[in-house]
Amino acid sequence: MSKELARLREEVEEWEGFQKAVHDLYELVALAEEGEETLEPSFLEELEQETLALESRLRKREFELLMSGEHDAKNAILAIHAGAGGTEATDWASMLLRMYLRWCERHGFKTEILDMTEGEETGIKSATIRVEGPYAYGYLKAERGVHRLVRLSPFDANHRRHTSFALVEVMPELEDDIDVVIDPKDLRIDVFRSSGAGGQNVQKNSTAVRIVHIPTGIVVSCQNERSQLQNKETAMRILRSRLYELERQKHEEEQARLKGKHVEAGWGNQIRSYVLHPYQLVKDLRTGYETGNTDAVLDGEIDEFIDAYLRFAEAAA
């Protein structure tokens, strides 16, 4: 409750601060109108800058109003899985990981790689990261689904065009008060040595943890922390988030079926295409939003895609 109170207090203070800034700007405009003939150019520049800053703050507040879901304000667990295609797919998964890490960096979100499995030649087979910050889940939920890449392969001696796929999962990081029932008898817990960096203790002892939820087949692992207990606690949090997300998906599919909408699950649920050859285009297949600036997108500039999806989802609700 104290966390929720702090979040709400911060939100109210932000709106009150915005209201005061608007009032101050009106006063500046009134001064400008009174002495229009004697205004210094620097004053007009300041007025313009203040107006643009307020517009930017307003767009941000409007954007957050689109995120009114139960868990939108929470931290996020984001997982990336390479699809079929060997080296091409693992390289594509690593490109997506970099894209999301860059996006988080731009927005001041704190990230922590909880688990990562490297590809046999390059890239990653899978990675799970924790994203900490206000509305992290509300923003990133727009990214869940299958992402498709079309390009001339740097790994093909004949420079042929290849198509690769990667699945992005996004779940809210749940607090302990969220009711997700997990029967200990349904779990198989394995421990093993960490394969990544982390110091001598991590390398010498079996600190990494893998948990299998037998009824659903969900597998989660964590090897980021220095102790087995910490990794187990983190893996259990991820499992609870995955189970919650699974129930959410089932509910949405049932609602769509009752409404007569076409429901397409799994790897067929492609949301976005990134084409680097024979032309350059990134297009979201749900909203129709597209851009030819593929370099910027792969460098983390995905705000327009997120904004388009949130407005699309709000209109469809």
Q: Is residue 30 part of a domain?
A: yes
**Are 116 and 147 members of one domain?**
yes
Q: Which domain holds residue 33?
A: 2-65
CATH number of the domain within which 221 lies? 3.30.160.20
Res. 62: pLDDT tops 80: no
Residue 202's pLDDT band, with cuts at 50, 70 and 90, is very low
Q: pLDDT value at position 198?
A: 46
Q: How many residues in total does the chain contain?
A: 317
Total domains in the chain come to: 3
The average pLDDT across 215-226 equals: 88
In a shared domain, residues 207 and 235: yes
Band the pLDDT of 264: cuts 50, 70, 90: very low
pLDDT band at 260 (very low <50, low <70, confident <90, very high): low
Domain boundary among 34, 65, 96: 65
Domain boundary among 234, 255, 276: 255
What tokens appear for 291 in the block?
Answer: 């851009």
* Same-domain check for residues 190 and 247: yes
| pLDDT on residue 200 | 43
Sheet holding 218-222, edge to edge: 187-192, 208-213, 218-222
> Half-sphere exposure of residue 83, counting CA atoms within 13 Å on the CB side?
20
Q: So what's the pLDDT on residue 226?
A: 74
Q: Which of 207, 237, 255 is the last residue of a domain?
A: 255
Q: What is the mean pLDDT of residues 127-142?
A: 93
pLDDT in tens, 32-61: 777 665 667 777 788 888 888 888 888 777
Q: Are residues 115 and 242 in the same domain?
A: no
Q: How far apart are CA 105 and CA 101, in angstroms?
A: 6
Report pLDDT for 101. 98
Q: How far is CA 71 from CA 100, 129, 176, in A?
A: 20, 18, 13
**Mean pLDDT across the stretch 68-78?**
88
Does residue 70 fall inside a structural domain?
A: no
> Which residues are CB-contacts of 29 (< 8 A; sequence separation ≥ 6)?
47
Per-residue pLDDT at 227: 86
Strongest mean pLDDT among 36-40, 118-122, 133-137, 286-290: 286-290
Say whether both 296 and 311 belong to one domain. Answer: yes
125: region left, alpha or beta (phi > 0 left; psi from -120 to 50 alpha): alpha
Under the banding of pLDDT at 50, 70 and 90, the label for residue 134 is confident
Packed helices 41-65 and 2-34: angle between N→C axes, nearest 10 degrees: 150
